[in-house]
Structure 1
């Protein structure tokens, strides 16, 4: 594998010392070529090499990653935690997809590239992000059949309603920071009441489900598909989109162990008591 020219070879040597190789990160989603541009408070820029943890806990060497900054805050990036947390939604999407928040265009582009998706409507409120999207020009970077599916509209994702003639099949929602908020499921229930989609995938939903399990059981059990489906149905009316047959109950526990806020993580996953 050829390393990008921006890779810090001294860092690579340090990370692979002792015979334990570090995986060089390669995005599991298609990512655009990002211009270095700024609009309003938003700036697209690139990071140097560094060791980063993915959503599911694996460590990667990441080089030359694009990041979207709002002021001094990293809002989105082409890094393992961001990409891995969006892959399931993009892979499972179908029909008419409503993407709530444009961000860096990654969810919109990968939904459009999914053969099961027929149309992608992206709802974005901030005019500066619309200007950034114009600089990015996703349609010019995508195959014509994928580009033809895309439509970017200006609007408040929390209040947007679709044209009754073009109902939404799937919501892909990602317009917030941080990953976890205790009220996230309730917030999305209000959004879904406006849109009426067949299925909803929200960024960080694994953390919300793990927290709901903790509230219900005082711990975070690894549920099989049948038990998890029953629990989700009792926890929220949202028609959440999630994969069957891949151990999703285990996956959401893994994500929570690595991505929950530290103070909550300590409560949800206390260290074992030393009997000695």
Structure 2
């Protein structure tokens, strides 16, 4: 079992378990670190919004910066937007994008997970994540193998299959974009699925991508609709009533209206507000 002291927002976790069948997950004990143009920095106490409705007061959070751009954080929004994909982690898991190593850390704590293969392109990200997240000291950290390479490159299958011993991934989680629910995320993930043939897969911000698709097609966010969306995108998204309810709640709370001509996209405004990296 993971250290309970590393599980953030226990009340939120219990509410999610009761409603959706999955909750939050333990995070590493982060420290500040910097390598090249990448750095992880701590921010103090402050209110933050979640991916689901409602804000919380966080005692602290750590943020991964690339130059002046906030790329990822340990905020509640990030935790909730990763939660379903951590819950799906079983067997051999492939993660496209290391980030702060938050997902990799959560996956290796699960007894159902045999191996976690992380594909990361930037050598500096690997170095700063190792230092900030203390990867060399993780319990069961021997399950993790980091492969430096391009998740959208032509050699993805060779790199991953070499790391898995030729075993087909049980779950693929794609998280390579700075923007939440990036418009290209479904197509990019489908390319990875075509290369790796995982049994199941998903991407970061998938719930909002699905919500936007439902909005455009005038469809409710139900299990059958999610199945149709998975077939259209070419990504084997796991479908359940609990996850469909999660998608509905996230979309209802966070799906922005379409911007007027000349205004920045709602996705970018949403992401800037939820990340909140400069406050605290």
Could you state the TM-score of these two structures normalised by the residue count of structure 2? 0.77
> 2:161 is paired with a residue of what secondary structure?
coil
Structure with more of its chain in helix, by fraction? 2
2:228 alignment partner in structure 1: 231
Alpha-carbon deviations, 1:127-166, whole Å to 9, x = none? 11121133246444322xx212111111111121122723
Aligned to 2:145: 151
Q: 1:1-276 to 2 correspondence within 5 Å?
A: 28-136=24-132, 138-143=134-139, 146-159=140-153, 160-161=156-157, 162-163=160-161, 165-217=166-218, 221-223=220-222, 225=223, 227-242=224-239, 244-246=240-242, 248-263=243-258
What is residue 272 of structure 1 aligned with on the other side?
A: none
- The CA deviation string for residues 239-259 of structure 1, in whole angstroms up to 9 with x for no partner, is 0135x242x323212212333
CA distance 1:33–1:202, shift in 2 (3 Å): same
CA contact under 8 A between 1:25 and 1:62: conserved in structure 2? no
Q: Per-residue displacement from partner, 1:74-103 (whole Å, max 9, x unpaired)?
A: 111110000110011111111110011111
Name 1:11's counterpart in structure 2: none
SS of the equivalent of 1:107 reads helix
Q: Are 1:96 and 1:119, in contact at CA under 8 Å, matched by a contact in 2?
A: yes
Shift of 1:183: 3.0
TM-score (norm 1): 0.78
Answer yes or no: is the 8 Å Cα contact 2:31–2:133 preserved in 1.
no
What is the CA–CA distance in structure 2 between the aligned matches of 1:110 and 1:137, rounded to whole Å? Answer: 12
Partners of 2:66 and 2:257 in 1: CA distance: 24
Query: Relative CO higher for 1 or 2, CA cutoff 8 Å, sep ≥ 6?
Result: 2
CA distance in 2, matches of 1:57, 1:105: 26
User: Could you tell me how far apart the structure 1 residues matched to 2:117 and 2:245 are?
Assistant: 32
Aligned residues: 238
Q: Which has the larger radius of gyration?
A: 1
The answer to whether the Cα contact below 8 Å between 1:172 and 1:202 also exists between their aligned partners in 2 is yes
Unaligned segments of structure 1, at least 5 residues: 1-22, 268-276
Paired with 1:64 and 1:233, the residues of 2 have a C-alpha distance of: 36
Query: Contact (CA 8 Å) 2:88, 2:171: kept in 1 or not?
Result: no
Cα 1:88–1:59 shift into 2, 3 Å: same
Q: How far apart are the structure 2 equivalents of 1:233 and 1:134? A: 34
Question: Do 2:91 and 2:112's aligned partners in 1 also have CA atoms closer than 8 Å?
Answer: yes
